[in-house]
Amino acid sequence: MTVLIAPLNWGLGHATRCAALVRQYIEDGHEVILGGDGESLCWLKKYFPQLRTIDLAPLTLRYGRGKSQVWAMLRALPRLIRFALMDEVCLNRLLASEPIDLVISDNRFGLYSKSTRCVYMTHQLWIRLPRLWRWLEPLVARLHARIYKRYDEVWVPDYADGVQPSLSGILGHKLTQTKTQTKTIKYIGPLSRFSGQSWDVSGSAYRGFDTVAVLSGLEPQRSIFEKALTEQAIKSNEKTLIIRGKIQEPFVRMQHGSLLKVTYLNDQDMVAALTTCKCIICRSGYSSIMDLAVLGVLDKARLVPTPGQPEQEYLASISQVAN
């Protein structure tokens, strides 16, 4: 079977969580093709250099500098619609030239075709809106459902109700669809590139920090967060590691007293840093939460939502209650 796996380029989380699926399909003997654009596809190329990649429709988004992202997202709507239409054209051109048995789209809204089996993966069946706009959430959920009900199945990377405590809460479990539509929704459990592997971190140089900060997300908020954490760490005597999450840049180590900054880390060193430190600081993106949960370190994380991101504010609140 030939499988195309393509994550949305909105931070690295969509790409990193797809790694678990890619690895499983390879182990099962299937041919995997990676699709996408930007940093997301760049990360997958580095992680699976042996696999073929296909450039799909490009999407470049930026957050605003303030505490609300409403206007930034409204301005981006025409670009998102165009992006979805371009993705559908790209996929149908690809299918016209070669057979693909399964397409797995991680939140790429237009990666759909009647010519093959298509799966849409998301942790947000119910999309969280800012407080003043929350009355529109049922309408937005129905609009989202109109997108994903075209797909043969919808996969939610979370536990099904009653199996284990949910990581996504209402985002992945609150539905407005009919029972017929919900039959296509499958809960596949949390996805993390750290899943199903054993780690020997005894030889890592990144063990034993007081605080490890993992940066991610869209600019300029990623850089604003980095600047604040750097200033805080320089004033502190604590041994601090900041992982900048800049995978397209050359690897660089920068030492400032008790603060060490690195461009990125490989999985082995990342696991060493997260499992042996006293405190973790990171954004409350869903993929980050799944990674921390899989490693068993969610209880020592301080989750800091991206300003103006209601989804991350909600995920941070339910994760803190759970721990």
pLDDT-based confidence at residue 322 (cuts at 50, 70, 90): low
Residue 196 lies in a domain: no
pLDDT at 286 over 90: yes
Residue 201 lies in a domain: no
Q: Which of 54-68, 205-219, 225-239, 256-270 has the lowest mean pLDDT?
A: 54-68
pLDDT given at position 221: 85
Q: Which of 108-122, 157-171, 292-306 has the lowest mean pLDDT?
A: 157-171
* Mean pLDDT across the chain: 88
pLDDT given at position 16: 94
Residue 316 lies in a domain: yes
For residues 278 and 150, membership in a common domain is answered with: no
Q: Which domain holds residue 286?
A: 211-322
pLDDT-based confidence at residue 180 (cuts at 50, 70, 90): very low
Q: Is there a contact between 265 and 242 (Cβ–Cβ < 8 Å)? A: no
Nearest to 188 by CA among 95, 275, 119: 119
pLDDT at 80 over 90: no
Q: For residues 41 and 55, what is the distance between their CA atoms, to the nearest angstrom?
A: 8
Task: Name the more confident of 71 and 4.
Answer: 4
For residues 83 and 175, membership in a common domain is answered with: yes
- Residues 221-248 have a mean pLDDT of 92
- Residues 239-258 have a mean pLDDT of 92
Q: Is there a contact between 40 and 15 (Cβ–Cβ < 8 Å)? A: yes
DSSP strand pairing (52-55 vs 31-36): parallel
Question: Full-prediction pTM beyond 0.85?
Answer: yes
Contacts of range 86-89, beta carbons closer than 8 Å, 24 or more positions apart: 86/56, 86/57, 86/110, 87/56, 87/57, 87/111, 88/112, 88/113, 89/57
pLDDT at 207 over 70: yes
Residue 123 lies in a domain: yes
pLDDT-based confidence at residue 216 (cuts at 50, 70, 90): confident
pLDDT at 140 over 60: yes
For residues 21 and 119, membership in a common domain is answered with: yes
For residues 176 and 251, membership in a common domain is answered with: no
For residues 43 and 159, membership in a common domain is answered with: yes
